[in-house]
Structure 1
Amino acid sequence: MQMTNRSLTRTTPEQLGIAAKQVIAFLDDVGKHKSELHSFMLLRHGQVAAEDWWAPYAPELPHMLFSLSKSFTSTAIGMAVHEGIITLDDAVVSFFPDDLPGDVPEHLGAMQIRHLLMMGTGHDEDTMDALIAAEDGHWVRAFLELPVPHEPGTHFLYNTGATYMLSAILQKASGQSLMDYLTPRLFKPLGIENPTWDTCPRGINTGGYGLNITTEDIAKLGQLYLQRGLWNGVRIMDEEWVHEATRKQISNGDGGDSDWAQGYGYQFWRCRHGIYRGDGAFGQFCLVMPEQDAVIAITSGTGDMQAIMNSVWDHLLPGFLPEPIAEDESSVALGECLAKLHLEVPKLGSKSMLEAQISGTRYEIEQDRTEEAPFPLKNLCIKFDKDRARLDFKLESEDSITLGREHWLTESTVTIEGKDTRTAGSFTWKSQDELILTLQAIETPFCITLELHFVDDAVTIHSSYNVGWDKVVTVHGKAVN
């Protein structure tokens, strides 16, 4: 294995015994199923065999991991156990004596760190909503106040609040936040630069979500686990922890064809074919394939994560061969295929006579349904130029984004829900009075589509997301200048 701290070594699929035609078949299949991949990186024997990003996504951009963050939290807990800071048998309540309910229920008192790790806390529903709803922002106390109807360790329930509690426990036991703890132990040794992680109102890293890193950084975590905790010959993690974290710790279903029913470890899912993974909502994956000595990192914006895994099993798995192979015509074809990957820009009609009339006009949005909208505009103004436009708008504050005329422009950073997010924009005309704006937040899975219908001095706006928001919200606005 050859790698540096900053980047993994690149080579060809054939040198690593991977058939290029199978990689092409995988890419064709995810396209056929309309799985919106944003990036893909395939490693074998510690080297990158194939990689690419669907423009306007790019290698240097971090991507929201959602629940794939959990596997990094698990890694921190494993390191803390190895250092003797905590043990898996420690009772959760022992870390928070000042935040406990008056009488500690039996099941809450029996809950241990291992139960948080295996999603076997005994709760009946994910606790995360209750934590976020806590008016005083005290997520730990909110967790400890919830009923625990089942004996810990006997009932699997995917529970993001449990992972937050792992972060809170680590901070309590080590005196460092999860981010600060992992920086010298994981991020720096692996060359993971500039990671960011959300925090709760009291400054504790969210643990179960909120980590933002690049695709290559995801692949590095998978490679570390594949190497059973070694990195460049140095032990980063205890080998026994790797085994325990990635084996089945609790049953989560009856197996079958679902990769959510093969068993759960310590913040890792078991998969079919002897594979395990960390994953996050809308298709963020770190697939570790011990039998093939391979790792696959994927980011995407999809509502069907199983379809992506099925494409991996059906097309990439048969492509792993025991020895290097000769290049053939499919080797050239793969390079051409990867070079062309991009997200399609809507192209319905490049211009409208209406542009001159509405350019620079500000529209105030009626507020009756604004809060329901996925993109809650308060006002907007579009200024058209030859091959681009600028959308000025207000959400929480005034902002703007440049839009390419039927092509992506990636010049803008937009503040959405308090976060600065790099955003690619494009526009096209559906008809002479119907304008389509596409805003692709390229550090996230999300794409916002705004359909604007202009009639006289009024505009009707239909707003929708590609994933995570299953309805179209319609609002109305009036010209004010």
Structure 2
Amino acid sequence: MTSISPQLRLCCLSGLFALVVWGQSAAALDESLAAEAVTRAGELERTHSLLVAVDGEIVLEESYRGPGTAQPANVKSLSKTVLAALVGAAIEQGLVAGDEQPIAELIGTRMPENTEPGVSDITVGHLLAMQSGLERTSGANYGRWVASDDWVTAALTRPFVDAPGGRMLYSTGNSHILSAALTWASGRTTRELAQDWLGNPLNIVIPEWPRDPQGIYFGGNDMNLSPRALLQIGELYRHDGVLNGERVLPEGWVENSWTPRGRSPFNNNQYGYGWFITELDGEPAYYGWGFGGQMLYVIPSVAMTIVITSDPTPPGSGSAYLRHLDALVAETLIPAARRARQ
């Protein structure tokens, strides 16, 4: 492969200027395929940024429109992946006993009185895997849920539509219950815990994000994180919960998180603890997904972590746009890393 001598190169894509970072790690990506990835991402009108690391080194960094790679952006439901990491950190810190701990033990006396008996069977793992069995708060129910005066009570008192541990029922209320449980069990806000247990060891800033009427930070939506911060979270998982020599997540947590627990009815991919599980270009791939195309991919077999941010309020089908992003990763970025290693 012909080497690229400048470390910084400006490219004009569809009338927009984007900055490509080509450092000493440029050889980690095949040049022609990397250039194709840059062009294809820019041609998708929703794309805000593209950030790629191989072996922990940033090899591609693009800003097309919207916030840049160092600026916080609303990552929508990709927040669920971050919250799952925080739950893992809470286990490592001893606040949570494990994924099999009943959520009622963490909530304690704050448990609403009018919950159904089966709520006592819901575990931390059930909530992470979207298997609480409670009626969803997402989809058609989302607006009424966030308009309620007590989001936690509204989520916990929904009727059961399946048994705990049953089929995947994607519901932001599950993640918000976890945010409340962490707050009440620790006496500290979810943001304080996230900054101490994730932000500080990863050397990232976790800014303020919305809270519910009781002051609980929104669990599973509307976090504001930069693509570079998200990259560090992906790298933490790629390194089995250890980063910069410090164990942040319990041993085995990544394996548990990437173990299929159910299957999404929206894209037919499997789901673990805050991560979707699929295969791209023949490689096992794990990703967090936020509405509008906020993506964090980890492909361990090629030592690759990818962050894509996009317009968070797009028209049309989010699933169709996700297919475009999956194709971008499968057809250009993974082959670019594989070809560079040959």
TM norm structure 2: 0.83
Length, aligned pairs only:
307
Given candidates 125, 134, 137, the residue that maps to 1:123 is 134
Partner of 2:39: 28
Partner of 1:451: none
Deviation of residue 208 (structure 1)? 0.6
CA contact (8 A) 2:230 2:296 kept: yes
Trace 1:97-116 onto structure 2 (pairs within 5 A). 97-102=109-114, 104-116=115-127
SS of match in other structure, 1:296: strand
CA contact (8 A) 1:228 1:242 kept: yes
**For each residue in 1:19-59, what CA deviation from the matched residue of structure 2 results, as whole angstroms up to 9, or x when unmatched?**
02112222333445x34210111100100111110145333
- Does residue 294 (structure 1) correspond to residue 294 (structure 2)? The answer is no
**For each residue in 1:342-387, what CA deviation from the matched residue of structure 2 results, as whole angstroms up to 9, or x when unmatched?**
xxxxxxxxxxxxxxxxxxxxxxxxxxxxxxxxxxxxxxxxxxxxxx
CA RMSD of aligned residues (A): 2.2
Partner of 1:223: 235
Q: Following the alignment from structure 1 to structure 2, what is the Cα–Cα distance between the partners of residues 221 and 185? A: 12
Task: Label 1:81 to 1:189 Cα distance change in 2 as closer, same or farther (>3 A).
Answer: closer
- Does residue 143 (structure 1) correspond to residue 155 (structure 2)? The answer is yes
Given candidates 53, 57, 60, the residue that maps to 2:63 is 53
Q: Following the alignment from structure 2 to structure 1, what is the Cα–Cα distance between the partners of residues 66 and 104? A: 47
Task: Label 1:194 to 1:245 Cα distance change in 2 as closer, same or farther (>3 A).
Answer: closer
- Does residue 267 (structure 1) correspond to residue 274 (structure 2)? The answer is yes
Deviation of residue 74 (structure 1)? 0.7
Task: Label 1:133 to 1:30 Cα distance change in 2 as closer, same or farther (>3 A).
Answer: same
SS of match in other structure, 2:308: strand
- Does residue 285 (structure 1) correspond to residue 292 (structure 2)? The answer is no
Q: Following the alignment from structure 1 to structure 2, what is the Cα–Cα distance between the partners of residues 277 and 215? A: 14
Higher strand share: 1
Q: 4+ runs of 1 displaced by more than 4 Å?
A: 322-325
Q: Following the alignment from structure 1 to structure 2, what is the Cα–Cα distance between the partners of residues 11 and 226? A: 22
- Does residue 92 (structure 1) correspond to residue 103 (structure 2)? The answer is yes
Deviation of residue 91 (structure 1)? 2.4
Q: Following the alignment from structure 1 to structure 2, what is the Cα–Cα distance between the partners of residues 52 and 31? A: 9
Task: Label 1:98 to 1:57 Cα distance change in 2 as closer, same or farther (>3 A).
Answer: closer
- Structure whose CA Rg is larger: 1
Partner of 2:92: 82
Q: Which runs of 5+ in 1 are unaligned?
A: 1-8, 326-481
Task: Label 1:246 to 1:10 Cα distance change in 2 as closer, same or farther (>3 A).
Answer: farther
Partner of 1:370: none
Q: Following the alignment from structure 2 to structure 1, what is the Cα–Cα distance between the partners of residues 53 and 284? A: 17
Task: Label 1:109 to 1:185 Cα distance change in 2 as closer, same or farther (>3 A).
Answer: closer
Letter in 1 for 2:147: A
SS of match in other structure, 1:270: strand
Q: Percent identity?
A: 25
SS of match in other structure, 1:271: strand
**For each residue in 1:225-247, what CA deviation from the matched residue of structure 2 results, as whole angstroms up to 9, or x when unmatched?**
11111212222222311111122
Partner of 2:81: 71
Deviation of residue 129 (structure 1)? 3.6
- Does residue 183 (structure 1) correspond to residue 195 (structure 2)? The answer is yes
Partner of 2:337: 320
Deviates more, 1:139-148 or 1:244-253: 244-253
Trace 1:299-448 onto structure 2 (pairs within 5 A). 299-301=309-311, 303=318, 304-321=321-338
CA contact (8 A) 1:171 1:178 kept: yes
- Does residue 132 (structure 1) correspond to residue 149 (structure 2)? The answer is no
Choose between structure 1 and 2 for higher RCO, CA contacts under 8 A separated by at least 6 residues. Answer: 2
CA contact (8 A) 1:289 1:295 kept: yes
**For each residue in 1:67-94, what CA deviation from the matched residue of structure 2 results, as whole angstroms up to 9, or x when unmatched?**
1111111111111222332232232334
SS of match in other structure, 1:142: helix
SS of match in other structure, 2:331: helix
Higher helix share: 2
Letter in 1 for 2:72: P
Q: Following the alignment from structure 1 to structure 2, what is the Cα–Cα distance between the partners of residues 233 and 64? A: 29
Task: Label 1:19 to 1:145 Cα distance change in 2 as closer, same or farther (>3 A).
Answer: same
Q: Following the alignment from structure 2 to structure 1, what is the Cα–Cα distance between the partners of residues 160 and 166? A: 12
SS of match in other structure, 1:238: coil
- Does residue 40 (structure 1) correspond to residue 54 (structure 2)? The answer is no
**For each residue in 1:103-143, what CA deviation from the matched residue of structure 2 results, as whole angstroms up to 9, or x when unmatched?**
x4243232221110000111343354443121xx2212112
Q: Following the alignment from structure 1 to structure 2, what is the Cα–Cα distance between the partners of residues 73 and 321? A: 31
Q: Following the alignment from structure 1 to structure 2, what is the Cα–Cα distance between the partners of residues 308 and 152? A: 33
Deviation of residue 196 (structure 1)? 2.2
SS of match in other structure, 2:338: coil
**For each residue in 1:196-231, what CA deviation from the matched residue of structure 2 results, as whole angstroms up to 9, or x when unmatched?**
222111111111112112111111111111111121
